[in-house]
């Protein structure tokens, strides 16, 4: 018996890929302007931002929402 995946637009997209695409499109300054998270404005890096986003569900939700709005 196979299970169908729910209609999830983020299915198969890693958090690292999502964040990298946002940084490529907006830059760190643009990302910090759109989402007021310190890890985007104070000495930003993919590694430190991923660590923060993995531990902070509300911040990850905001980043995922920005990514989805950009894609639609």
Closest-CA residue to 53 (of 32, 39, 66): 39
- For the segment 39-67, the average pLDDT, to the nearest whole number, is 96
What's this model's pTM, rounded to 2 decimal places?
0.86
How many Å apart are CA 5 and CA 8, to the nearest integer? 7
* Contact of 15 with 56, CB cutoff 8 Å: no
Token pair for 50? 């991923």
CATH superfamily of 15-71: SAP domain (1.10.720.30)
**What is the pLDDT confidence band of residue 39, given thresholds at 50, 70 and 90?**
very high
Radius of gyration of the CA atoms of the chain, in A: 13
How many Å apart are CA 17 and CA 34, to the nearest integer? 18
**What is the pLDDT confidence band of residue 63, given thresholds at 50, 70 and 90?**
very high
């Amino acid at each position: 018996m196979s299970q169908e995946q729910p209609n999830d637009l983020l299915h198969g997209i890693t958090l690292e890929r999502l964040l990298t695409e946002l940084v490529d499109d907006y830059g760190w300054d643009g990302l910090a302007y759109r989402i007021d998270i310190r890890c985007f404005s104070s000495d930003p890096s993919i590694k430190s931002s991923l660590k923060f986003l993995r531990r902070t569900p509300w911040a990850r939700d905001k980043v995922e929402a920005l990514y989805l709005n950009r894609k639609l």
